[in-house]
Each structure stands twice: as C-alpha cells, then as structure tokens.
Structure 1
Amino acid sequence: MRSISPHMLPVGEPNPPNEKHVSANSILLLVPDTLYSRLSRDRFGMHPSVRKLMDAVRARLRTPEDLNCLIFPSADAAARCTARLSAEHPGETCHTVKFQSHQPADEEALRWAAFFVVLFPQACLSTAMHFWKVFGDGIAGRHAEHCLAALPSMDSYAKDTVFESSAPCRGHPTWDLQWVNSAAAEKESIRSLIARLVSSDQLGYRPVSSHDVFLYPKGMCAIAAVARALVPHSAELSEAVIYGWPYAETPLCVKESDYKRSTLLSAGSKQELDELESSLAAGRRIQVLFCEVPSNPQLRTPDLPRIHALAAQYNFIVAVDDTLGTFVNIDVLPYVDVIMTSLTKIFSGMCNVMGGSVVVNPQSSHYTTIHSALTALYEDTYFPLEAMIMSQNASDFEERVKQCSASALTIANLLAKHPSVAQLYYPSLVPSRQFYDQVRRKDGGYGYLLSIVFHKPETAIRFYDVLDICKGPSVGTNFSLAIPYSLLAHFREQDWAESEGGIDRHMVRISVGLEREEDLIARIQDALTAATAEY
C-alpha cells in the first residue's frame, strides 16, 4: 500500500508535488477574489493540456479575440452545451466544429484522435463555464494531450465553412498508442472490482454483475448521466428531490437536466421526510430522490430504510452517491435503485486521474427502466490512459479505505473532546449515526472525512493556517487534505449556505489520508495548541 506524507505547500502548487495530472491544488484560508477565481478554474477541470489544445484550436481556426471555445470528447456533450448557450443567450451565435484525422488510420487511433469544439462569444462565457463545471463533460487532460499531438493531421468540419480547415500535415498519421482496444481489459477490471465490492452482504441478494456497472470520465458525468436518464416523459412525474445537503454541483446538475421541478430538502431531517410522505399521500408524484451517504460536509446519513419503503409505496427511484461512504464501508444496495460514485476520490487515491461510476441494482423493481435508459444514452468517452491509471491506482482500494477510516475515527474522537471545538461532524458522532449503522458493513468503518466547527472563527483561521497537512479541494487522497469548506464550495453564497444548510462559514474539512496515525495526531495537536494559545 502506498503511503505518502506531503506537508502543506505554497498556494497553487499541485497536491501531490510535481504531479502533472493533479486534481487538487494547494490553497490558503483567506483568498482574494482573483486568487479564488484561478483556484476554482483549476479545481473544475481546466487542465493545462486542455488550455493548450484550446489555444491551438483557436490559432488553427484563426478565431477573433472575442470568440471563446470549449472542447468536448463527444458530439452529444457539444450539442448539449450549444443548446444550453442558445437557450440562455438567444441573440448570440454559437458554432460546433469537429476535428478528425483526414486519412484512414488505425481504428483505435482514429477513435480517440477526434474531438468537438464549441465556439461562443464573450457574452456566453459565464454560462459556458457553468455548464463545464456542473456537468463535467469537458475533455480530460490526457485525452487533450493525445489530441494536441494529433492535431496537425486533423481536418476540421463545421456547418459554417469559415471554420473548416485542412490538416497542415498531409502525410499518413502515426501514433505510438500506449493502450490496446480502448483499454477494454482495464475498464472491465474496474467494473468487476466495483461489482464485487458493491454487492450486498445481506441474504437473498445475488452478486452484482460488471454488466450493471457504467464507467464515466468524471464523477459529475456519472451523476449527470443518471439525472438525464431518469427524466420522465410525463410532466406530472417530472420532479426530482435532493434530500440532505449535497455536494455543491449536484442540485444544479439535477435542476438543469430538464426536470419540470427540482426540490432541495436541505436539512435531510425527519421533519422533511415526514412532510414529503404527507405530500405523497396527498397525491404528489416524484420521479427520483437523490441523496448522499453520508453527506458532504456534515457527514449526515439519511434514513435509507424509510426512504426505500416510501419509494416502494409511491413508485419513485432512489439514487445514492456513496463516494464518502465507499463500497468497502457501507452496504446500501438493498435500499436503493442506483448508486453513483466519484472514482476520482478514494477509489483512485493518487489525485492524478478522474473517473466516475454508476451501478444499477439488479434486484431493483426499476432495473430494466434504469439500465435501458443509461444504455441508450451511454457513450464510452473514458480515455484509455485514464482508465489504465485508475485501474492501477485502485488495486489496494480496500486496504486504503480501512486504514484511512481507522485513522479518521481516532482523530474525530480526539477533536470532538477539545474545548475549542463546538461541533465535530463525523458519521459516528452525529445524531444520524443510527442510520449509518443500519447500512454499515460488518467490518466497515465510518469513512475518511470529518468537518470541524470551532467556537471562535479566529481559532478556525489559525488552526487551518498552521495545520501542517496539504490544503486543497478534494477528498479521499492518499495524503491528508484540509479545506475551508464554505469559502471554496460556496464562496459567493456563504450567507445562503449558512442559513439554508447550516454550513458554518469557518468550517474546516479534513480528508484523512495514509500518513502514520501518530504523525497525523501530532500535527493536529500542534495546530490546536497554536490556534488556542490564549486558552
């Protein structure tokens, strides 16, 4: 099992150090608007190689300065982006351009040396970046590198002929591919591992098949795929409910997936579930309920057995994000119809590759509907090199989850007893523990994530500033990570997040890694001592 122990790094540096394909950069606690904008941009997928490809495309097409572009791996993603821009900016003109090799070549090379560009004016920039961030459809960094190398041998095709161009290099293109058959073996290995681990321990539940596991390039792609697949034809049923305070982009993703209505029950409380049940009994109909087990960042667990019973009675689908709970710690399959997971997090652990998965419960009463809908929309856009690295990283997934969970439990108990701590959020220490225990596997832990609220804001600031672990916007990395949660996740809506979701604006979230437990405890105790020197 790999164990690395980087300390806090200068702002903007990659976590871990010297990693080219990093998914989290180092951040500070108090960040000005300009720095926040840069960090947010990097956090949500603007890999340097993607920027280089965008610049090369604009130079190739000789686009004017006020024309921006985004690059997607599929025609479907580009079409959805264009449709969103046209709907939000009906007076603006957008264009889609396809790049592809000009000559017959190896089928494998051609498949991955193609991409789609959406060109749009400056007025559409904010909407375009919102789409990119919320749905996760943008081209991956390694895929962009491959396309950048192949660009000289590609022609461009567009309805507007001004954006058509011939390949500068007319020779027969050759690529030294590092994979075979789109990394089909590695992708099947990932699906098989997920199928084995997600299968229920309860009697009467047959094992999940890899056929019921769908892979996506990012976690948000997986959530978005489920949201789109479940949109019903009936307007009466076209409501999605998000129960509990979710990952920041999830409500936006669901809301913007063409449901007539989406409802956020932000507290995830018994009262909200009572009110939902009463409204269903009175004739309300919903299509799907989304929730997280546990939630981010308050680590609360919904009452899944009750939700499952309501779903059976009122015929709606239950979709759960188990990224924080993990297949190793929790067994949610008996209570849900579909499971979404960000593989970018602890499944990979290395913070150097992205991925997402969807598992359809083979014993769900909605199995055929969900599986058929996902299959109809599915296109394999998971770049082979990404899948190969993900497969390699996940080889010790189970062992890493157990170690991180054990260390996190020790640290959570330590912090909860400190007089400077007002609230410690961890699945075993919040009132919803009973609901977590209902789905916890026999040897399962309580996960690797915890959140701290101090009595005094200045204590939180000092604690974060001196805490000698990496600082960055991810979770589940092999090294520990801390983040000022509200500041980054809800930078421009902190008042709303605090009033609506109870997200304290000085909350510090810690993802516990593989460092030696005693070393982590020493670093945390040193930070507590420095932060509470006046006590």
Structure 2
Amino acid sequence: MLAQGVGQSIPADTPHAVSVSLPTWRSCVGYEEGEEGILKKMNNGYPRFFIDKCVTSFAATLIERYGTLDEWAILLPSHPVAVRCASFLQQHLAALDPDAKTRTIDLLPRTDPEHGNARGARRVSPMVSVVIYPKRHSALAKSFWQHTGEGVSSRRAELCHRAFNDGFLAPRPSDNQTDGSHGHSTSQKSMKGPLRYQRARLADGPEEHVRTRADSLEEERRSNTDDSVLFVEERYGRNLDLSRASQAKVAIRRRIAGALTADVDLNDMTDTGRTEIGIRQVSGFSEEDVYLFPSGMSSIFNTHRIMMASRGALKSICFGFPYIDTLKILEKWGPGCLFYGNGSAEDLDDLEKRCKEGEKYLALFCEFPGNPLLKCPDLARIRALADRFDFAVVVDETIGNFLNIHVMPHADVVVSSLTKVFSGDSNVMGGSSILNPRSRYYHLLKKTMETEYEDNYWAEDALFMERNSRDFVSRIARINVNAEAICNILQASKYVKEVYYPKYSPTRPFYEEYRSPTGGYGGLLSVTFRTSAQAIAFYDGLETAKGPSLGTNFTLSSPYTLLAHYNELAWAAKYGVDADLVRMSVGLEDTNELCSVIERALTLVGHVNEM
C-alpha cells in the first residue's frame, strides 16, 4: 500500500478507519504542533486521539438542543461510564475552576408506539449518555476519552444520531430535568429504562448502576425471540443483521480463548466446556472468562478499576516502558503508580526490596513484548514475587498475541487490544480482558465482574470484529515471516544504529520461554539510524502506508516517539526510546516486494549520507 495524502483515512475511503495518513516526517511534526494547514486536512485519526466526526457532529446537535455556546459534550455508552467521566471532571475542576459544573443526560429509546418498541431497541443498545461541561475544559474531557477508551464508537454515534434526529431517542424521565434547559443538573434518581439501570450500586459512586453478565445473557436470550428488534435493524442498521451480534461476540470470545481457530458460520458454533487446557495452556479455561470492551485501553482501564473494587485502592506497578495511556491510567485513577521504565533486573531487585520493607501493591502491569522497544519482562521472576508478596500480574499481550506466545499461565489477567492484529482491517476498535481460572484472585475477580462488568461493545462493531478476525490464525504466520525478512535487511545496513525486535533483543531468552511451538516473533519492529536526517529520509522514502496504529493487514509505519511522546521526548529518551525511532507494523504483502520497499528506502538514506 503506497503512502497517501495528509489526513486521508487508512485504508483509503474506509468509513470508521482507525488510522490516518501522515506521509512525511514534516506532516507528523505539523500534526503534533497543531498546524492549521495540517489539521484542516484530517478526515479522521486514531479514535482515542482524534474524536471522529460522527461523534463531534452528534455532540454539536446535542449542545444545540440541551447546551449553550459555552458548553460542549462528551458521548459515552452508558450511565455508569458517564458517572465516572463526570466524577473525573469534577475532581480536577475542583482546583482548576470551582464554579464549573457538569451535567449528565441519558438518551434512551422512546417506549411509545409512535416511535417503535423500546424492548426490541434495547437489543442493539441504541442509547448514549452525554456529559455536558464548559467548553473551555475540553482538553480535560478529551484526556478522559483518550486514557480510558470509554467513549462511544463512531458507528454507535452515527446510528444514535439518526435515531435522535428521528425522535426515537429521548432523555430519561427524571425529577429535575428540564428538556432543553441550560443549567439544570439531570437527576438520575429515576431508574426507569433498560435493565442495566436497575441493578445494585457500585463502589465508584452512589448513583452508578449496571446489569450483571447473567442479566445481559438473559436479556439477549429473551430478545432473540422478539420480532420487534427488526424495527431498529431495518430502520437504522444499514442492512446489517444486528440480531447476530450476540453470536458474533461469542465467536470473538472463543477465538480469543483459542477454542475457535477456523472460519465457521455463526449458526454452526458448538458449545465449549472447561475440560481441556487448549491453546491457552490453562486448565479449566473457557470463553466465559473472556470479557469484551469497546477498546484495548478500555480493557486495561476496567481491569484496573475492577482490581481496585476487588482488592482495595492500592498502588499499582507499571513495569517496562509502556504504551503511554496505560501509565496515565495507573497514575490518575487510584492512589498512584510505581513506574519502572527500564523493566530491568535491577528494577525487580528494587521492587523486591520495597515489598520486603512492607510496601503493598495492587497489581503489576506489563506488556509482552513492550512497545516500541520490543523488550520482554522476566515473567517468571515477576510471578514469583507476586505470589510471595500478594499482588496480581496483568499482562498486555497485544504485541505478542497468543498464537506466538503463551503468557497466561503466569498472569492473573491478560488484556489485549483487538483493534490491532486480531482485527487487521483498521476499521473497528475492540479490547478484551481474560481471567486466569488458576489465579488466586480468580473467584474474587469473577464475583466482582458479575456486578461491575458492562457489555458496552457496540453491536455493529462486534459484527465487523468477528468478520475481520476469522482468518486471524493464517494472517499471523504470514506476518511473522515478513517481519523477520525486513529485520534481516535492516540488521545488515551500515546506516542502521539499532533494530528492535524480540528475535534480536537482549531479552530474547524471556521471549523464548513463552514462545509457542509454532509461534514466531510477531509483526512489530522498530529501527533507529545514526543521524536524524537518515531517519527522516528513511521514513519519507518508505512506500508503505504511514500513520498511527499497528497490527494492520498492510504494512504501516510511523515515527512512533514523535507521535506518542512529542511533548516528553526527553523523558522517553531516559528509558532508551530514541526521538527519531521509526516503528513498522508489518503486513501481508508479498515478502519480496516488502524487502524491495525497505531496500529502496535505505538507498535514499545512503544519499543523505553522501551529502
């Protein structure tokens, strides 16, 4: 896939794409610095960083109806999420702007015959919760959106916007709400509406209600026989069979569990049990231990939240240089975080010393391998320390993926961004959290999940994710081969300073310890050059798609540190992350052609060297 113009979706002309073209080093700098000429060209972006135009359009409509010119809205999938958002905003506004107020409106399906049957509508969750806040604090609201991954998806916003314009969605009846008024807080005392709002209260706040997983399954079972669901599907569903969303979610969970490795018709799926160890190498494990979320960061955020609800508000540990929002979650929610950015043996020595001195921790969060340096933590030692000093281990397997590595036996919870290689098509978000049934915390976490877990994964997104992931197994093998071939070329180049890849990492022994018998080293690699000019020439000369994200079916390159840490380059450098690092997520292209692409880009680097 050749580079596209600035601001075009990747892939081109793809609705709801999760990457955007930034084809030159200069365009990346311009984007980070907020240059008007660059921003005007941005049709989309990575959804947690660039709020999709479907979402902003709906927000504008809602502000026109319920807000003022000085206000803006953040759109969320449920009332409990909105409560968490409003609480986050008020907590920070208390010091920044004590007079600033927020209010929440829940838009639910109407129940009158003129607008259709709400019970059937509930089947596809055509609802949205809105937190209205002073527009001057949009950066703060966006930080909640970015860090937590809890915002509505663009597909949900698009469908709900149309339903709202047609009068199908309306605010929840409440004691104090004045429809269209400005300045009244929306009361949440009335618990009418979908079943998820009629459950026991949570620890996060006195007004937070969710449905249990059992309730969700029972509601779906009842709804499967309700013909009125066709009202929403036919009117708003863009000819998608949304009634198959529940089957799609089961298929996704079974693929993640390793119980479904081939493409099958959703109607032909058979039940699985807990009698075989299977690909995850943990006895007693099944898809019932897999929980889906709207994004990978949502899975991490909620895993941390549910850990605190289960075990108390203790500090967590972030081990190894992390994807930036993981660290932000651990720092901003709860009592804080102990950060070990190098992820070294010396860091584990320090952690052991602290634990011996009586410090207590909630959980250690790490990636296997890490992004972007592809280093692996010493999971065996981490597991031993966790067992000895009573803290949980949460492993993000997004980069490695369970076909290449088996980390679950050493983790209490495994999280992943399904947006990446599990999907591959760069057109849908998703995330998962997996409970290890052999964990000492399993029953405690499972019990907490029964009351606190909300299935907010939008039906349309689930359908796309299920379709995209059907060939997951065959794609991984091809990607592994291509990535190794590229690394071999880069390793041999005299212009390259360092290639970061699990196969060449000093932490390779840790990777090998958990590599599956047929697994490779993954599709992500990073490279640095001897000068900044060489890095720029290489990136600008790459004939690949260029933009944020990873795990796509096509090769996708980015100046990772520049995009992820532009305002903290010196901080990243302290942990060995070069400001000029180029990251490549390798795709399914012909191996020889990919190698030619790399060689042509290196030729341009040579021209810089001769100047």
- Quick one: which of 88, 109, 115 aligns to 2:121? 109
Query: 2:149 corresponds to which residue?
Result: 136
Q: CA distance change for structure 1 residues 108 and 406 in 2, over 3 Å: closer, same or farther?
A: farther
Query: 1:221 corresponds to which residue?
Result: 298
Q: Distance in 2 between matches of 1:359 and 1:288?
A: 15
1:443 corresponds to 2:518: yes
Output one character per residue of 1:379-410: Cα deviation in whole Å (capped at 9) or x when no partner.
11111111011011100101111111111012
1:481 corresponds to 2:498: no
Query: 2:107 corresponds to which residue?
Result: 99
Q: Distance in 2 between matches of 1:494 and 1:66?
A: 34
Q: CA distance change for structure 1 residues 315 and 484 in 2, over 3 Å: closer, same or farther?
A: same
1:42 corresponds to 2:45: yes
Report how far residue 413 of structure 1 moved. Answer: 2.0
Give the alignment of 1:357-396 within 5 angstroms.
357-396=432-471
Contact in 1 for aligned 2:109/2:121 (Cα 8 Å): no
Report how far residue 377 of structure 1 moved. Answer: 1.4
3-state secondary structure, aligned to 1:214 = strand
1:11 corresponds to 2:19: no
Report how far residue 497 of structure 1 moved. Answer: 1.2
3-state secondary structure, aligned to 1:98 = strand
Report how far residue 55 of structure 1 moved. Answer: 1.7
Query: 1:3 corresponds to which residue?
Result: none
Q: CA distance change for structure 1 residues 194 and 202 in 2, over 3 Å: closer, same or farther?
A: closer
Matched to 1:34, the amino acid is: G
Unaligned runs of 5+ in 1: 1-5, 166-172
Query: 1:241 corresponds to which residue?
Result: 317
The range that moved more, 100-109 or 90-99, is 100-109
Query: 2:187 corresponds to which residue?
Result: none
Contact in 1 for aligned 2:258/2:278 (Cα 8 Å): no
Contact in 2 for aligned 1:232/1:287 (Cα 8 Å): no
Q: Distance in 2 between matches of 1:73 and 1:268?
A: 35
Contact in 1 for aligned 2:109/2:118 (Cα 8 Å): no
Q: CA distance change for structure 1 residues 252 and 514 in 2, over 3 Å: closer, same or farther?
A: same
Contact in 1 for aligned 2:258/2:280 (Cα 8 Å): no
Matched to 1:196, the amino acid is: G
- Quick one: which of 184, 195, 203 aligns to 2:257? 195
CA RMSD of aligned residues (A): 2.3
Report how far residue 41 of structure 1 moved. Answer: 8.0
Matched to 1:109, the amino acid is: A
Q: CA distance change for structure 1 residues 522 and 414 in 2, over 3 Å: closer, same or farther?
A: same
Matched to 1:156, the amino acid is: P
- Quick one: which of 495, 498, 513 aligns to 2:587? 513
Matched to 2:85, the amino acid is: C
3-state secondary structure, aligned to 1:345 = coil
- Quick one: which of 178, 186, 201 aligns to 1:161? 178
Contact in 2 for aligned 1:156/1:163 (Cα 8 Å): no
Q: Distance in 1 between matches of 2:280 and 2:560?
A: 40
Q: CA distance change for structure 1 residues 435 and 204 in 2, over 3 Å: closer, same or farther?
A: closer
1:421 corresponds to 2:496: yes
Report how far residue 114 of structure 1 moved. Answer: 1.4
Q: Distance in 1 between matches of 2:53 and 2:257?
A: 34
Q: CA distance change for structure 1 residues 40 and 446 in 2, over 3 Å: closer, same or farther?
A: farther
Percent pairwise identity: 33
Query: 1:490 corresponds to which residue?
Result: 565
Q: CA distance change for structure 1 residues 197 and 57 in 2, over 3 Å: closer, same or farther?
A: same
Contact in 2 for aligned 1:287/1:317 (Cα 8 Å): yes
Report how far residue 433 of structure 1 moved. Answer: 0.2
3-state secondary structure, aligned to 1:340 = strand
Query: 2:246 corresponds to which residue?
Result: 184
Q: Distance in 2 between matches of 1:436 and 1:455?
A: 27
3-state secondary structure, aligned to 2:55 = helix
Query: 2:18 corresponds to which residue?
Result: 23
Query: TM-score, normalising length from structure 1?
Result: 0.93
- Quick one: which of 269, 288, 307 aligns to 1:230? 307
3-state secondary structure, aligned to 2:483 = helix
Matched to 2:15, the amino acid is: K
Query: 2:210 corresponds to which residue?
Result: none
Output one character per residue of 1:92-147: Cα deviation in whole Å (capped at 9) or x when no partner.
11111111233241523145221111110023211100001000111111111110
Give the alignment of 1:259-338 within 5 angstroms.
260-338=335-413
Report how far residue 318 of structure 1 moved. Answer: 0.3
Contact in 2 for aligned 1:361/1:367 (Cα 8 Å): yes
Q: Distance in 2 between matches of 1:200 and 1:484?
A: 40
3-state secondary structure, aligned to 2:387 = helix
- Quick one: which of 75, 78, 84 aligns to 2:79? 75
Q: CA distance change for structure 1 residues 79 and 402 in 2, over 3 Å: closer, same or farther?
A: same
Report how far residue 313 of structure 1 moved. Answer: 1.0
